[in-house]
Structures are given as structure tokens and as C-alpha cells.
């Protein structure tokens, strides 16, 4: 690998173009195979048997009736399942013991000739239990709340700076509020599916996953296999939202089943109902906020104390209070997380774990403070915008939240807002405008490798085991590769989604394009360094993701401002949202078309979360009882009355065009295409020196019809 | 889903005979609810008798001025029918507020009446439910009851009937025409669905093998001024929290007659007879409308999770009647 050429800037040609998805035609014509649709020879079908108690032990399993059903090939339970190598992760310790840790847990599975027979047979398996009392309800008054060692992925559990109690006592204005957010389930359109084949000591999975390599890394040792004995293939994935970021129990179940019928592929697709207990979910949260401010609304104290849950069999600590550490400035700040370990399914990553519930709490508290101070909510946020990262003291690589708020206010018509309750009524609907800040860290994960090979077809095969979970990876990486190699996009043949390709980190934490794109750029430079501009056929080079020295110097985060018009029916109390606007500061946009989808999607998910997404857990049983249409955590559910309209732009400012700005920063951008950009002047001395590219993406949602009933 | 046999009926009598003579048989119309239940394990018929090819696909005017609706008429077609739209706008509105376009294209008139509650415990075979498995208990009581009944429930079941269409039809005094082995019988729709009582597994008065062949709506001239208002979390594809179907006959500022029915409040589409009685002869004012709502709601008994329905029904009923009376006095 050549590192010297890594410093040459790219000539940006394909990057920034709104190219259509290169796999789009295949998807809409049904020829892009998702995991379950992969053609395999002579498959069998798997249907799980699930626990109907929340805690206890299996006393007996009678599968005679199930076995007797024509078409049943095998039934596996903890009594006869192949052994796994490690019980370190109890979520993945599938069918290895008689213990039941939550209702809905796998306790067996039927392998049959058809999915219908498998499902029917599963319903005929009779199980008796030695049931133990369970606890499934998160309450703030529990005596067994504990502090985890760290919160996801590796943040400190608690922080405490200054003297918040003294500051609160001295504050002119204080807010003391507790907010709760409900249990929420990921429900990607494509359910969790796996096709597993065990043959010649090798396990092959077609898997619906956000990371083929990470599935292999976690599961190969569990099955006692070397990495080269396992292959994971995932070219197309119908949504993940974090729930496919790590393998779950169904992957292990399919692997065990395949082991029981060597040589035969075994297909498993979770039902929608099963996904509520087996695919991860977001913990409910109870968030206690205390804010202190002076009369002008300047924060003097921020306290954010979070109570949330994990499963007794495996810890997942959502980092709910972490965004509070950087969103607003205050000399005195305290955050904490406490967990209750309950007899419930295992929580996991879901759509920005931490930021989603935590920023929600922050923004409600800030709105209450705005009222208490008699300030416009945007003005309050501007007054508390920190010039540097409050946590680390590092300069922002680019923040521009104030710019997003101001631009959004102008576009949205914020000046028409009357803060007095019930001040605007239109055709029987009370009309209000609201605003909130958004933020998300810029993650880049080390470890990816890309290879480039020049083929007989005069195209460059660019290989990296990355994932496209519907976000546009196929297309965006092709654009990056084209510019990195200095060739047209038609000359790139992208190959992703397979562990036979070089290692790629997981599509998680919105780190994919940054990590993989940077890796591809490095590989392209290595290729040109070795083979020049006129490579021979078969010329090949590869490179790993280079380090970015700016990571240590800057606090890198994305920011945005969200605006919503909300209507409440005077007679019925129904809530409708006819209009939303989002303005974002997120770095260089690789593809405005797919980026716009991401923003509109994110806004729709926010809308859906605010209005619809509570998963109702019945503590008497210990499982989510709203397993159907009523409380789906599927973002599309919010959408029927909405039709997105919006645009994205990628704008270089005049300093950049004149060649000004900091060279290091621009290089960092090239290596990290999605790193937040250095910002426009006006954000403080460091940032004003770092003028470079500013990207704004505006997403708008507009009602397709009036807010009233659609009948 | 369990294995089942399938046959297509070529005439109504044959369909009735096929199902009546086979305890595990079920009629298959649009299948939008039954097939879900077969997947969930809520229903396991071993024979489906497809009735979609029977000649019940017409909407016809009756000599009396009423309308006869074939049981196989699809919800979309019924909603779009000119007779229905002009004479009974509340029915068209109710149909269009139900489900989604795709489902309405499949769902039939008879099947819509026979759809079963969406109580989450009824649909979850891992929890006790008296309606699904008699004698096991009611999980909704003490559980998640946001969608459940405030009127006419029992200690054995607090589920609500999910239909929108049926609420409008009950307000219109519809009659259900039923074919059994012994021939046709006619049942007033208001008596067709049952309250849960001690035997909540019995949704209607239909016996096994009885087939709905038509629904008849009597003439009701003042129903040209009628409306269906459905209150729900989402603007589309959501069941009613509560709904109100109403027709109002106002002359000289006085209510001559009124029809009011409620959805989302009981085990059956709820004809609001107390409200209707309070309205007749009363001045067409918000005060009268409120009094009528209160008269109907006097018997309401909320559960832990649905007390909101009482003010919601009151407000919605008042709003619908207010809007209808405003139409009457331009």
C-alpha cells in the first residue's frame, strides 16, 4: 500500500451526482435476490418453537405429534441440538440448556419439507415448564438498578463536571421534568431471514445482515469453525435499522438446524410476530432532566439521569444521555445511566441508539426552558450553542447547528409562529409549529480492506464485503471508486456483500460510506501507484482503511434542525402532521438522491416514533402484545398521508473555490467522504479558518392531501 | 397454517350444504381476516368453501325504495356505488375509512360483517382468551385495553367489533338475509351481532353453515344528510378508536328524527337508541347534541386503559350532529 499518494486530492466528478441506484432495476423487477429468495438446491424449512413463559426451566418436551406429521424431517431442542463452543453471549447460546430467560425465546425448531408443515409441526410440540416468577416492568423505583461498566458502544456510564447542585440552587430559572419513551421494535420490511447450509465442515449463510463479515466473526467461533470454514452472503438487504447489525439467535438456530441435516440448505424467515422478541429492540427509557439557566436562558446546569432496561441474560446499555454531553453548553453538567436487568427479550441497536431517545428528552426540556424564560425556542438553542465540544474541549470539525436552525426557520415560515397555546385554529384544527435539534456522531470503523482488479472487460472490479441495507451503498461506493480511480462510473464493477470479498466493517452507526469509501480511495491510490494509469489486464492492488489524524484533533458530529407543523383536532384530539422540514449539516453528500432518501426516511421515523411506535409490553406475560398493525415500529407506518418532497445540495463556498481553507481539513474530507465538513465562517476562530465545503440537505415532507380524514 | 381442503361453490345451496355438513368447514369470501387467522393459529378450518363465484355481486334498488346489497359485493365497489353514495353517504364514507385500498378491493360485504375483533390477546394464541378458547379467561381485563369496549361488555370479554361498514348499516336499520339448510331467514343487523355475555366466542346469531346472501337497507330519505366520522391514530389504515355514524332530519330548527350508531365502543356495532330518543323533538343545538351523547354514555363503563373514549365519543357525536345540522340550515 502506498501512503504517499494518499495525500493527493480527488478530482470530484461522479461524487455528488444524483445517480439512480445501480441495482434499482433488478430490485423493482424482482431479480435482486434477498436472503430467503436465493436459489438453493433441495431446501428444507425451519420453524421455531418459542417459550411461553418468561422465566424458568423446561421440564419436558413432547414432540411425538410433531414428528408424526408427514413432511417433518427433524426436530431439534436443547436435548439433541449440536453443541456450541462458547456461552459468553447468552443471546446466541441457542438450544444449549433448559433455561428460559424470556418469553418468546427459542426452545426448539422443526425442520420440514415445506414451511407450512414446519409451522404446523412447531405448534404441535408440547412443552411443560418449571416456571419461576418473572419481572418484566421497567420502573424508576426499582431497588436493583445498577450502573453498567460502560454504555453502548464504549462511552463512560456517568459524567459529572462542575457543581450542578450549587448551580441549580443559584439558577434564576430551573426545569425539573421526567420524560419517558416507550419500548420500540425495529421492523424492517424484510424480516430477519437466513438460509444455512452445512457441508464438508463448512457453513454457508445467505443472511439478511448489515455486516456479512461481522456475522462470520461472531458465529464461526461459536460453531467451532475457522473463519475460512464459514461464508456469509448478503448482496441485498431490505432494511436493518440496527436490528441486523449483529447476528441474533435466529442465525444460530439456522446454523444448528443445518448441522442437523448436513448437505441440505435450511431456510428460516422470522414471522413479523417473532421479530418482537428475537431481533433486538429499543429499551424504554425514563429520563429525569434538571436544567438551570439565567434569566437570559443561558444554561448554568444540565442534569440528565436515565433509567432503562436490559435483559437478564445479556446486557445492552443504551447510551441515552451521551448526546446531552455535547448538544448544549453549560459549565456544570451531569449525566448518568442506570439499568434494570429484567426477564425480557434482549435489547439491541435500533435506529441511532442513544441519540434517538436522548435528544428527544433534551429537546422537550429545552422547549420547557424556552417557555420558562419567555424565549423563542430557536433563540434559546442559539444562545446555548457551544463553540467547542463541551466534553473534550476540542474544536468542532463542523457544527453549524445555528445555521441549520436559522435557514430552517426562514424556509419554514417560523416567523408566523405564535407561541401562545390554542392561538391558531384552521377548519377545526389547532395549528402549531415546533422545532428540534438533531445530532449524530461521525463514526469511522477501522479494519476494512478493499481490493481493485483491472479485468479483461476493461473495468475495475472493486471488492469489499460491505452491505447495502437499502441505503444506496452499491451506488455511492461506485461513485467514490470512479472518482478515486479517475474513471467513469461505467468502468467500475462493484462487488459487495460477501465474506469472500475483503473484510468490511458493519453498516452500523452510519459508518459505512465513511469507512468503506475511505478504504476504496486508499486502494485506488495503491492501485495507481503500482500500476499507473494504463494497467495491464489482471493488475490488482488492495489497501486497508488509513488512519485519519484529524480524528484526534476535532470533535466530529453531524447536526440538523427539524421543523414540524402539527395539527390537533379541536373535537377529537387527533394529531396530524401536514408539513415537516429538516436542514442538515452532515459533510459531503456522495449521492443527493440516496442521501435525500435517508433524510426523508429519518424524518419519517421521527414522526412515526413521536406518534405511533409504542410497543406495549404486558408485564403479566413479559412480551410485547401489540405484535401486529397497531404498534409497528416500521417507519412506513407513519407515511400514508405524506408524500416526500425535498432536495439536496452540495455547495462549496467562495473560500474553498478560491483555494483557501485548511489543507489538512480538505484532505480529511477526501479520506472520509462523510466526515462533517469544516464550516463556514462565523462559528468561532478555529472554524472560520477552516472554510471548505458546506453541504446542506433539505428534506421536506408535505401532506399529499389535507390533514383531515381521508375518507 | 394447518393443511386444509378447498372447494369452489357453484351455487348457494351447495355452499351451505358443504359447510353445514362439515364441522371444520368455513366459507371463504375475500379472506382478508380468515387467512390472517389461519396463519396466526386463531382459526384452523380443514375445509374452505369459496363463495366468491356465487351471484351475490350486485347492488339493486328495491321496489320499496331501499337497496339490496349482495353479500359478495366488494367494499370498494359498494363504496363507489351511485345508489349508496347518493342515498346513504354515511355508508360510503364508512367503507372508505376502513382498511386500505388493497383490502377493500378484496373484502366482501358479508365478510366485513363477520370479521372478528382485533383484540391483541384474541390474536395471540399464547395468551388466554375466552373468545378464542372458551373458559381460559380474558387477558384484556387488567391488560392492554386502549381499543376495548366501554359499553355492553362482560367480565368474560371486553373486545370491540372492528367494522366501520357495520356501524353505518346499523344506523340505517339494515337487515341481513341469511341462507341455511332450511331456507332463508332475515335478521335485523342490530340483533345480528351479540354482546359477549357468558359466551363471547359467539360473535353473531349465525349458526354453523348459515350463509349471508345479502344486506338490505330500507328507504330513509333523510339519510341523504348523513355522515361517518372515524377517529383514529393514523389518517389511513387504522382501526377506529371510536366512530360515529349519524343521519339527521331537521326542520325549522327542531330535530324530527335522527339515526346514530357508534363504532369502537362495544362487542357489536352500537345503535345509540338513547341518543336518538333524546334528539327527537329537541332543538338542533349543541346543547341538545351534548345531552343526547350523555344519555347514551350514561351506561358507559370504562376500563383502566380506555376512559378517554367517553369524552371522545361525546365530542365526536356532538361534532358530527353539529356539522349535519349546519348543512340543514344553510
Whether residue A550 has a cis bond before it, omega within 30° of 0: no
Q: Give the DSSP per-residue string, A604-642.
A: HHHHHHHHT----EETTTTEES--STTS---GGGG-TTE
**Taking chain B, what is the end-to-end CA distance rounded to the nearest angstrom?**
56
Cell 485548511 found at: A662
**Residue range A275-305, pLDDT digits in tens:** 999 999 999 999 999 999 999 999 999 999 9
**Coil/strand/helix, residue A681:** coil
Cβ of B230 and A611 within 8 Å? no
H or E segment and range at residue B214: strand B211-217
Angle in degrees, CA A472, A475, A476, rounded to 5: 80
Range(s) within chain B of domains with CATH label 3.30.43.10: 5-50
Count of residues making up chain A: 711
For chain B, residues with pLDDT lower than 50 are: none
Cβ of B120 and A627 within 8 Å? yes
Q: Give B 11-50 residues with CB within 8 A of chain A.
A: 40-41
Residues whose CB is less than 8 angstroms from the CB of residue B177 and which lie 6 or more positions away in sequence, other chains included: B68, B184, B185, B186, B212, B213, B214, B215, B216
Architecture of domain B225-328: 2-Layer Sandwich (3.30)
Give the residue from chain B lying closest to A575, CA to CA.
Answer: B233
pLDDT of residue A224: 97
**Residue range A387-444, pLDDT digits in tens:** 999 999 999 999 999 999 999 999 999 999 999 999 999 999 999 999 999 999 999 9
Architecture of domain A385-443+553-703: 2-Layer Sandwich (3.30)
- Smallest Cβ–Cβ distance between B143 and the set A116, A576, A625 belongs to A625
**Residue range A121-138, pLDDT digits in tens:** 999 999 999 999 999 999
pLDDT of residue A698: 53
**Coil/strand/helix, residue B111:** helix
Are the CB atoms for A376 and A370 separated by under 8 Å?
yes
C-alpha span between A113 and A265 (Å, rounded): 11
Architecture of domain A159-185+282-356: 2-Layer Sandwich (3.30)
Can you give the three-state secondary structure of A538-593, one letter per residue? CCEEEEECCCCCHHHHCECEEEEEEEEEEEEECCCCCEEEEEEEEEEECCCCCCHH
- Tell me the count of A-B CB pairs closer than 8 A: 92
Give the residue from chain B lying closest to A708, CA to CA.
Answer: B235
pLDDT of residue A644: 32
C-alpha span between A83 and B213 (Å, rounded): 59
**Residue range B285-302, pLDDT digits in tens:** 999 999 999 999 999 999
Cβ of A273 and B142 within 8 Å? no
Q: Is B321 on the interface with A (CB under 8 A)?
A: no
Chain B CB contacts of A119 below 8 Å: 1
Q: Is B102 on the interface with A (CB under 8 A)?
A: no
Architecture of domain B5-50: 2-Layer Sandwich (3.30)
Is the predicted pLDDT of residue A692 greater than 50, yes or no? no
Chain B CB contacts of A576 below 8 Å: 235
Can you give the three-state secondary structure of A312-357, one letter per residue? CCECCCCCCCCCHHHHCCCCEEEEEEEEEEECCCCCCCCCCCCHHH
Sheet with A332-342: strands ordered across: A159-161, A332-342, A299-311, A285-293, A173-181
- Smallest Cβ–Cβ distance between A625 and the set B94, B120, B233 belongs to B120
pLDDT of residue B2: 85
Cβ of B230 and A711 within 8 Å? yes
Confidence of residue A703 (pLDDT cuts 50, 70, 90): very low
CA A577 to chain centre: 24
Is the predicted pLDDT of residue A536 greater than 70, yes or no? yes
pLDDT of residue B329: 63
Q: Is A126 on the interface with B (CB under 8 A)?
A: no
| Percent of chain A residues past pLDDT 70, beyond the cut | 87
Confidence of residue A705 (pLDDT cuts 50, 70, 90): very low
Range(s) within chain B of domains with CATH label 3.30.390.50: 225-328
DSSP annotation of B248: E
Confidence of residue A9 (pLDDT cuts 50, 70, 90): confident
Confidence of residue A635 (pLDDT cuts 50, 70, 90): very low
pLDDT of residue B1: 76
Chain A CB contacts of B237 below 8 Å: 629, 640
Confidence of residue A699 (pLDDT cuts 50, 70, 90): low
Confidence of residue A694 (pLDDT cuts 50, 70, 90): very low
**Residue range A306-336, pLDDT digits in tens:** 999 999 999 999 999 999 999 999 999 999 9
Bridge partners of residue A282, in order along the sequence: A184
pLDDT of residue A629: 53
Confidence of residue A663 (pLDDT cuts 50, 70, 90): very low
Give the residue from chain B lying closest to A52, CA to CA.
Answer: B126
Confidence of residue A575 (pLDDT cuts 50, 70, 90): very high
Cβ of B123 and A628 within 8 Å? yes
Distances (CA, A) of B174 to A367, B71, B181, B218: 52, 13, 23, 7
* B92 backbone dihedrals φ, ψ, rounded to 5°: -60, -45
From the list B327, B328, B324, B288, the residue with the least C-alpha distance to B90 is: B324
Confidence of residue A628 (pLDDT cuts 50, 70, 90): confident
pLDDT of residue A702: 46
C-alpha span between B146 and B155 (Å, rounded): 17
- Residue A688 vs residue A77, higher pLDDT: A77
Range(s) within chain A of domains with CATH label 3.30.365.10: 159-185+282-356, 448-546
**Residue range A349-394, pLDDT digits in tens:** 999 999 999 999 999 999 999 999 999 999 999 999 999 999 999 9
Cβ of A571 and B237 within 8 Å? no
Q: Is A296 on the interface with B (CB under 8 A)?
A: no
Architecture of domain A448-546: 2-Layer Sandwich (3.30)
Residues whose CB is less than 8 angstroms from the CB of residue A155 and which lie 6 or more positions away in sequence, other chains included: A319, A322
The pLDDT mean for chain A works out to 89
Give the residue from chain B lying closest to A569, CA to CA.
Answer: B231
**Count of other CB atoms within 10 angstroms of residue A490:** 9
**Coil/strand/helix, residue A40:** coil
- Residue A10 vs residue B309, higher pLDDT: B309
Q: Is B6 on the interface with A (CB under 8 A)?
A: no
**Residue range A156-212, pLDDT digits in tens:** 999 999 999 999 999 999 999 999 999 999 999 999 999 999 998 899 999 999 999
Q: ipTM of the assembly? A: 0.95
Amino acid at each position: 500500500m502506498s501512503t504517499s499518494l494518499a495525500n493527493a486530492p480527488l478530482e470530484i466528478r461522479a461524487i455528488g451526482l444524483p445517480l439512480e441506484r445501480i441495482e434499482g432495476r433488478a430490485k423493482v423487477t424482482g431479480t435482486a435476490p434477498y436472503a430467503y429468495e436465493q436459489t438453493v438446491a433441495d431446501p428444507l424449512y425451519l420453524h421455531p418453537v418459542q417459550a411461553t413463559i418468561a422465566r424458568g426451566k423446561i421440564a419436558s418436551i413432547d414432540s411425538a405429534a410433531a414428528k408424526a406429521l408427514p413432511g417433518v424431517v427433524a426436530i431439534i431442542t436443547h436435548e439433541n441440538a449440536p453443541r456450541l463452543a462458547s456461552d459468553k453471549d447468552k443471546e446466541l447460546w441457542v438450544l444449549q440448556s433448559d433455561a428460559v430467560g424470556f418469553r418468546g425465546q427459542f426452545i426448539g425448531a422443526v425442520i420440514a419439507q415445506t414451511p407450512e408443515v414446519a409451522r404446523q409441526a412447531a405448534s404441535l410440540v408440547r412443552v411443560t415448564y418449571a416456571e419461576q416468577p418473572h419481572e418484566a416492568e421497567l420502573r424508576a423505583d426499582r431497588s436493583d438498578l445498577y450502573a453498567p461498566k460502560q454504555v453502548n458502544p464504549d462511552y463512560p456510564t456517568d459524567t459529572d463536571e462542575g457543581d450542578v447542585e450549587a448551580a441549580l440552587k443559584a439558577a434564576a430559572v430551573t426545569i425539573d421534568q421526567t420524560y419517558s419513551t416507550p419500548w420500540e421494535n425495529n421492523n424492517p420490511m424484510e424480516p430477519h431471514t437466513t438460509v444455512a447450509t452445512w457441508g464438508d465442515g463448512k457453513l454457508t449463510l445467505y443472511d439478511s445482515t448489515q455486516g456479512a463479515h461481522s456475522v462470520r466473526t461472531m458465529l464461526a467461533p461459536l460453531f467451532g469453525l475457522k473463519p475460512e470454514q464459514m461464508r456469509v452472503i448478503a448482496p441485498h438487504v431490505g432494511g436493518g435499522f440496527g436490528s441486523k447489525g449483529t447476528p441474533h439467535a435466529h442465525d444460530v438456530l439456522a446454523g444448528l438446524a443445518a448441522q442437523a441435516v448436513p448437505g441440505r440448505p435450511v431456510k428460516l424467515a422470522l414471522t413479523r410476530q417473532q421479530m418482537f422478541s428475537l431481533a433486538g429492540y429499543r429499551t424504554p427509557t425514563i429520563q429525569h432532566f434538571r436544567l438551570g439557566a439565567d434569566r437570559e436562558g443561558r444554561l448554568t446546569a444540565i442534569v440528565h439521569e436515565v433509567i432503562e432496561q436490559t435483559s437478564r441474560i445479556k446486557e445492552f446499555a443504551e447510551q441515552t444521555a451521551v448526546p446531552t454531553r455535547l448538544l448544549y453548553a453549560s459549565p456544570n453538567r451531569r449525566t448518568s445511566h442506570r439499568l434494570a436487568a429484567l426477564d425480557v427479550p434482549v435489547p439491541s441497536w435500533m435506529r441511532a441508539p442513544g441519540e434517538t431517545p436522548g435528544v428527544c428528552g433534551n429537546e422537550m426540556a429545552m422547549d420547557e426552558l424556552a417557555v420558562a424564560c419567555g424565549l423563542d425556542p430557536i433563540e434559546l438553542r442559539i444562545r446555548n450553542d457551544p463553540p467547542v465540544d463541551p466534553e473534550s474541549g476540542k474544536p468542532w470539525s463542523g457544527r453549524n447547528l445555528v445555521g441549520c436552525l436559522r435557514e430552517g426557520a426562514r424556509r419554514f415560515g417560523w416567523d408566523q409562529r405564535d407561541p401562545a397555546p390554542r392561538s391558531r385554529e384552521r377548519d377545526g384544527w389547532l395549528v402549531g409549529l415546533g422545532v428540534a435539534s438533531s445530532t449524530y456522531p461521525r463514526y469511522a470503523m477501522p479494519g476494512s480492506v478493499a481490493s481493485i482488479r483491472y479485468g479483461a472487460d476493461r473495468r475495475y472490479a472493486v471488492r469489499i464485503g460491505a452491505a447495502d441495507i437499502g441505503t444506496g451503498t452499491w451506488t455511492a461506493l461506485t461513485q467514490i471508486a470512479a472518482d478515486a480511480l479517475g474513471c467513469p462510473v461505467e468502468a467500475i464493477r462493484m462487488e459487495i456483500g460477501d465474506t469472500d470479498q475483503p473484510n468490511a466493517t458493519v453498516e452500523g452507526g452510519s459508518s459505512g460510506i465513511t469507512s468503506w469509501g475511505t478504504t476504496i480511495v486508499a486502494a485506488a491510490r495503491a492501485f495507481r501507484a503500482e500500476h499507473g494509469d494504463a494497467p495491464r489486464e489482471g493488475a490488482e492492488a488492495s489497501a486497508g482503511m488509513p488512519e485519519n489524524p484529524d480524528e484526534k484533533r476535532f470533535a466530529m458530529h453531524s447536526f440538523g434542525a427539524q421543523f414540524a407543523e402539527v395539527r390537533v383536532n379541536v373535537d377529537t384530539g387527533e394529531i396530524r402532521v401536514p408539513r415537516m422540514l429538516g436542514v442538515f449539516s452532515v459533510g459531503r453528500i456522495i449521492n443527493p438522491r440516496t442521501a435525500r432518501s435517508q433524510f426523508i426516511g429519518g424524518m419519517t421515523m421521527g414522526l412515526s416514533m413521536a406518534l405511533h411506535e409504542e410497543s406495549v409490553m404486558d408485564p403479566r406475560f413479559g412480551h410485547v402484545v401489540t405484535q401486529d398493525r397497531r404498534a409497528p415500529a416500521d417507519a412506513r407506518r407513519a407515511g400514508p398521508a405524506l408524500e416526500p418532497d425535498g432536495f439536496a445540495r452540495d455547495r462549496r463556498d467562495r473560500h474553498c473555490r478560491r483555494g483557501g481553507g485548511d489543507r489538512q481539513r480538505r484532505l480529511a474530507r477526501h479520506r472520509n467522504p462523510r466526515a462533517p465538513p469544516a464550516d463556514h465562517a462565523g462559528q468561532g476562530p478555529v472554524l472560520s479558518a477552516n472554510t471548505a465545503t458546506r453541504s446542506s440537505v433539505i428534506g421536506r415532507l408535505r401532506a399529499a392531501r389535507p390533514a383531515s380524514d381521508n375518507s | 397454517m394447518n393443511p386444509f381442503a378447498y372447494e369452489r361453490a357453484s351455487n348457494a345451496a351447495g355452499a351451505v350444504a358443504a359447510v353445514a355438513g362439515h364441522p371444520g368447514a368455513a366459507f371463504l369470501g375475500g379472506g382478508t381476516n380468515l387467512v390472517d387467522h389461519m396463519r396466526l393459529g386463531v382459526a384452523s378450518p380443514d375445509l374452505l368453501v369459496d363463495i366468491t363465484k356465487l351471484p351475490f355481486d350486485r347492488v339493486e334498488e328495491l321496489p320499496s325504495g331501499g337497496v339490496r346489497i349482495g353479500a359478495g359485493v366488494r367494499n370498494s365497489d359498494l363504496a363507489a356505488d351511485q345508489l349508496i353514495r347518493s342515498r346513504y353517504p354515511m355508508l360510503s364514507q364508512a367503507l372508505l375509512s376502513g382498511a386500505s385500498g388493497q383490502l377493500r378491493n378484496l373484502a366482501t360485504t358479508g365478510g366485513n360483517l363477520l370479521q372478528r375483533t382485533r383484540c391483541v390477546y384474541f390474536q395471540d394464541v399464547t395468551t388466554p382468551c375466552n373468545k378464542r378458547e372458551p373458559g381460559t379467561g380474558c387477558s384484556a381485563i387488567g391488560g392492554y385495553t386502549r381499543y376495548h369496549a366501554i359499553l355492553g361488555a362482560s367480565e368474560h370479554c371486553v373486545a370491540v367489533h372492528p367494522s366501520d361498514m357495520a356501524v353505518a348499516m346499523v344506523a340505517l336499520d339494515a337487515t341481513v338475509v341469511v341462507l341455511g339448510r332450511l331456507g332463508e331467514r332475515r335478521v335485523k343487523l342490530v340483533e345480528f351481532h351479540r354482546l359477549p355475555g357468558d359466551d363471547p366466542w359467539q360473535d353473531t346469531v349465525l349458526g354453523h353453515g348459515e350463509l349471508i346472501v345479502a344486506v338490505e337497507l330500507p328507504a330513509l330519505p333523510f339519510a341523504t344528510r348523513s355522515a361517518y366520522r372515524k377517529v383514529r391514530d393514523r389518517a389511513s389504515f387504522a382501526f377506529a378508536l371510536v366512530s360515529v355514524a349519524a343521519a339527521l332530519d331537521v326542520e325549522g330548527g327542531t330535530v324530527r328524527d335522527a339515526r346514530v350508531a357508534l363504532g369502537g365502543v362495544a362487542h357489536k356495532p352500537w345503535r345509540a337508541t338513547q341518543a336518538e330518543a333524546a334528539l327527537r323533538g329537541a332543538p338542533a343545538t349543541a346543547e341538545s347534541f351534548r345531552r343526547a351523547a350523555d344519555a347514551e354514555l350514561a351506561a358507559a363503563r370504562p376500563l383502566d386503559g380506555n376512559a378517554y373514549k367517553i369524552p371522545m365519543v361525546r365530542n365526536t357525536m356532538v361534532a358530527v350532529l353539529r356539522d349535519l345540522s349546519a348543512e340543514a340550515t344553510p
